[in-house]
């Protein structure tokens, strides 16, 4: 009936509300409150549109029954009217929606749900249910989770939406399932139910039940009658027969970053009443699935931002650790700590090349829980192992079920009592592969594409640090001049000293080796700081440089030690020369951090004898210096 423009008022429309229409009005208010409290612009926009749609639907539905003389209820058959189902995907006609479930299986107690509204029988009594806003969302007693916790926020809002659906449809159970086609699983994420028979496992296999078919087909399903004998096969989310009579389920679509739409979840509703759901239910659920899609989008974006933020924090921590001490040990430890923090594992193994064995070996193993795993220093079988395959291809490798793999992880001798899942990645820079890192869990399919990306970023930074370390060692090995003092570096000095020893032995010449060091180094640091000690070391280096002959050798052996090779000089002559150096340097007045002072040095001296090699000469000279230090310093000792 048309609305009479002079006699019909909004107040009259409100007075004419049925219980179901009152529930829809309250539902619109609840959704609006949820959207406002979510703080997400996407969700707020979505719930405003849904709420306005619900309220408009109720208003025009009631107004259509009104006449100037009063309210007249009339049920309109829509046998020829089609229903559009919208859910972030293409529109579908009602005849597609109401397709048979398990064709040829109607004897099992499952009948097709017609795509039209049921005609109310004359005199049918309407079930009255009083609804209160606090039944949906009690703002006073419940705390909205922090927006910095996207998972908690999503679970909170999902629970409220499911509760709202349950109340509005007077359902027995409303459940939401994530779909995981890679692992062929349904993940039981949220529920609002009166049943105590819901399964406790969060992961259910994709099989032939109705929820699985919705996930695979991406189309809604109606079941108007379910017999107790077929309930366990149709509804796999119950552990026992719950005497459910009817069911409706709809897919939830989500458009990813690549623009492709996919079924990411299934919204399932059931009732203990037969024919509890109709095409009007599908219209309402299409709005709810849009809201769920908006929630998922918000959750996904926040989760990605959180993971990226945590990854940046981990990379920064790795850099800070390696900046303090750039060594192989610290690089590996930083990689292990951040991998455990972001991804987690039961077992971790790092392989690297061993120069002594000329083979790839297990460098480090970390076991997070009790169990048997590969031992360190074991050789990798490159041609017949998972780690070898990663080294050969220089690409990551993910095995969701190790029981299906015939080759070993590292070698045939390994004794490992786990058959879960493993993720391996190469520690590789632009020019070189330094090894592999493998993380393993006892459970199957434990690692996702996101875990691969996170591990790749961590390993990438570790590889960059290793490249800097090895390049630094290469520079240290071949650069002959110490950049602080201008003297020969230890490696080159010792190489030249070996040549001079050979020359002296061949020509029967004398040679004396002396080592100098500053006394009481810790006291100088306490008084003048590290910078003051650096100035003192530089002053000693320059003093020695001005005191040796052009053909003598002078080099820096350590932070506080300097070596001098005196050619054609006996041990006694070397002692007198070192004593002169000691006295003259002690009389020097040095300025350290704007303070004047004098410091003392000690020296060890050893003369070359027949058939003496470099190792013996060096050890004897160091022993003489140690003796001088033990005697209080400021002294020269001859071996």
- Tens-place pLDDT, residues 114-139: 333 333 343 443 343 443 434 444 44
pLDDT at 190: 87
Dihedral angle sign, alpha carbons of residues 571, 572, 578, 581: negative
User: Quick check: 454 pLDDT over 60?
Assistant: yes
User: Quick check: 90 pLDDT over 80?
Assistant: no
- Percent above pLDDT 90 for the chain: 30
- 315-324, 531-540, 549-558, 594-603: range with lowest mean pLDDT: 315-324
Nearest alpha-carbon partner for 132 in 32, 30, 10: 30
Alpha-helical regions (H) of 137-221: 150-169, 210-217
Q: How much is the CA Rg of the chain, to the nearest whole Å? A: 40
Q: Which pair of tokens denotes residue 409?
A: 């992880």
What are 338-367's pLDDT values in tens digits? 888 888 899 999 999 988 888 999 999 999
User: Quick check: 334 pLDDT over 90?
Assistant: no
User: Quick check: 383 pLDDT over 50?
Assistant: yes
Cβ atoms 253, 232 nearer than 8 A: no
CATH superfamily of domain region 490-638: Reverse transcriptase/Diguanylate cyclase domain (3.30.70.270)
Q: Which comes out higher in pLDDT, residue 188 or 137?
A: 188
Residue range 577-605: average pLDDT? 90
Q: Which comes out higher in pLDDT, residue 282 or 408?
A: 408
- Which 3 state secondary structure label does DSSP give 33? helix
| Count of Cβ atoms closer than 10 Å to residue 298 Cβ | 22
Q: Which pair of tokens denotes residue 597?
A: 């002072």
Backbone angles phi, psi at 351, to 5 degrees: -110, 145
pLDDT at 6: 41
Q: How far is CA 519 from the centre of its chain?
A: 51
User: Quick check: 170 pLDDT over 70?
Assistant: yes
The secondary structure of residue 487, as a DSSP letter, is S
Cβ atoms 185, 202 nearer than 8 A: no
pLDDT at 104: 36
User: Quick check: 279 pLDDT over 50?
Assistant: yes
**pTM across the whole model:** 0.48
User: Quick check: 10 pLDDT over 70?
Assistant: no
Candidate ranges 150-159, 300-309, 316-325, 629-638; pick with highest mean pLDDT: 629-638
User: Quick check: 86 pLDDT over 60?
Assistant: no
Q: Which comes out higher in pLDDT, residue 488 or 22?
A: 488
Q: Which comes out higher in pLDDT, residue 196 or 147?
A: 196
Q: Which comes out higher in pLDDT, residue 592 or 93?
A: 592
pLDDT at 545: 92
Confidence band, pLDDT 50/70/90 cuts, at residue 635: very high
Range 34-41, long-range pairs (CB < 8 A, 24+ positions): 34/137, 34/157, 34/160, 34/161, 37/139, 37/144, 38/153, 38/157, 38/295, 38/298, 39/147, 40/294, 40/298
Q: Which residues contact 84 (CB under 8 A, 6 or more apart)?
A: 91, 92, 93
Candidate ranges 58-67, 137-146, 344-353, 362-371; pick with highest mean pLDDT: 344-353
Residue range 275-297: average pLDDT? 83
Confidence band, pLDDT 50/70/90 cuts, at residue 76: very low
Average pLDDT over the chain, rounded to an integer: 79
Confidence band, pLDDT 50/70/90 cuts, at residue 62: low
User: Quick check: 501 pLDDT over 70?
Assistant: yes
Residue range 170-184: average pLDDT? 88
pLDDT at 113: 36
Q: Which residues of 481-506 are buried (b: 16+ CB within 10 A; e: fewer)?
A: ebeebebbbbebbbeebeebbeebee
Residue range 355-383: average pLDDT? 88
Confidence band, pLDDT 50/70/90 cuts, at residue 299: low
- 7-16, 55-64, 239-248, 506-515: range with lowest mean pLDDT: 7-16
User: Quick check: 553 pLDDT over 90?
Assistant: yes
pLDDT at 444: 84
**547 in the Ramachandran plot: left (φ > 0), alpha (ψ -120 to 50) or beta?**
alpha
Residue range 141-169: average pLDDT? 73
Question: Of the CATH numbers 3.10.20.440, 3.40.50.300, 3.30.450.40, 1.10.540.10, which one belongs to the domain with range 80-115+136-303?
Answer: 3.30.450.40
Q: Which comes out higher in pLDDT, residue 262 or 613?
A: 613
pLDDT at 531: 87
pLDDT at 497: 93
- 307-321, 338-352, 459-473: range with lowest mean pLDDT: 307-321
Q: Which comes out higher in pLDDT, residue 135 or 613?
A: 613
What CATH number was assigned to the domain covering residues 325-477?
A: 3.30.450.40
Confidence band, pLDDT 50/70/90 cuts, at residue 256: low
Q: Which comes out higher in pLDDT, residue 81 or 219?
A: 219
Separation CA 123–CA 100 (nearest Å): 32
pLDDT at 64: 57
Residue range 134-157: average pLDDT? 57
pLDDT at 630: 92
Backbone angles phi, psi at 608, to 5 degrees: -75, 130
């Amino acid at each position: 009936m048309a609305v009479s423009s002079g006699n019909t008022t909004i107040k009259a429309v409100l007075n004419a509300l049925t219980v179901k229409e009152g529930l829809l009005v309250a539902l619109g208010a609840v959704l609006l409150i949820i959207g406002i409290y979510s703080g997400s612009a996407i969700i707020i926009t979505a719930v405003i549109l849904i709420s306005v749609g619900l309220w408009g639907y109720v208003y025009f539905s009631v107004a259509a029954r009104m006449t100037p003389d009063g309210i007249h209820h009339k049920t309109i058959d829509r046998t020829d009217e089609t229903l559009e189902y919208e859910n972030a995907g293409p529109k579908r006609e009602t005849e597609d929606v109401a397709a048979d479930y398990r064709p040829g299986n109607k004897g099992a107690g499952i009948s097709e749900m017609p795509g039209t509204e049921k005609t109310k029988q004359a005199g049918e009594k309407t079930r009255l249910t009083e609804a209160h806003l606090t039944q949906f969302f009690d703002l006073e007693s419940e705390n909205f989770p922090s927006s910095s916790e996207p998972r908690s926020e999503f679970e909170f809002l999902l629970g409220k939406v499911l509760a709202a659906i349950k109340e509005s449809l007077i359902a027995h159970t409303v459940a939401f399932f994530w779909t995981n086609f890679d692992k062929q699983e349904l993940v039981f994420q949220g529920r609002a139910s009166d049943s105590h028979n819901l399964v406790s496992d969060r992961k259910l296999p994709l099989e032939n039940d109705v929820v699985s078919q919705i996930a695979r087909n991406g189309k809604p399903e109606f079941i108007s009658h379910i017999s107790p004998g077929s309930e366990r096969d149709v509804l796999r989310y119950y552990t026992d027969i719950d005497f459910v009579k009817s069911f409706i389920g709809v897919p939830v679509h989500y458009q990813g970053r690549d623009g492709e739409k996919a079924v990411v979840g299934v919204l399932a509703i059931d009732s203990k009443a037969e024919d509890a759901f109709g095409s009007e239910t599908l219209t309402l659920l299409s709005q709810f699935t849009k809201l769920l899609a908006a929630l998922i989008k918000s959750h996904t974006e926040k989760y990605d931002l959180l993971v990226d933020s945590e990854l940046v924090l981990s990379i920064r921590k790795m850099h800070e650790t390696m900046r303090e001490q750039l060594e192989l040990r610290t690089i590996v430890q930083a990689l292990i700590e951040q991998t455990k923090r972001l991804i987690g594992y039961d077992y971790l193994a790092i392989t690297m090349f061993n120069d002594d064995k000329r083979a790839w070996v297990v460098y480090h193993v970390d076991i997070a829980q009790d169990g048997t795993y590969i031992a360190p220093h074991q050789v990798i079988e490159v041609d017949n192992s998972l780690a070898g395959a990663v080294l050969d291809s220089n690409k990551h490798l993910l095995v969701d079920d190790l029981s299906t793999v015939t080759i070993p992880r590292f070698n045939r001798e390994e004794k490992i009592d786990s058959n879960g899942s493993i993720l391996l990645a190469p520690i590789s820079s632009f020019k070189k592969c330094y090894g592999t890192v493998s993380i393993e869990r006892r459970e199957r399919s434990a690692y996702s594409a996101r875990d691969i990306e996170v591990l790749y970023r961590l390993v990438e930074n570790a590889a960059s640090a290793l490249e800097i370390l090895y390049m630094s060692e290469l520079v240290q090995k071949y650069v002959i001049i110490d950049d602080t003092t201008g003297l020969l570096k230890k490696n080159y000095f010792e190489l030249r000293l070996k040549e001079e020893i050979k020359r002296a032995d061949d020509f029967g010449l004398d040679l004396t080796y002396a080592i100098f060091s500053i006394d009481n180094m810790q006291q100088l640091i306490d008084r003048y700081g590290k910078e003051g000690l650096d100035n003192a070391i530089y002053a000693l280096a320059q003093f020695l440089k001005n005191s040796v002959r052009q053909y003598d050798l002078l080099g820096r052996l350590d932070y506080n030690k300097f070596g001098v090779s005196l050619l054609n000089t006996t041990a006694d002559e070397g002692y007198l020369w070192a004593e002169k150096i000691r006295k003259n340097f002690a009389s020097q007045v040095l300025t350290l951090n704007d303070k004047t002072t004098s410091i003392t040095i000690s020296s060890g001296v050893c003369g070359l004898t027949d058939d003496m090699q470099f190792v013996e000469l060096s050890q004897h000279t160091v022993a003489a210096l140690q003796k001088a230090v033990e005697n209080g310093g400021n002294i020269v000792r001859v071996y």
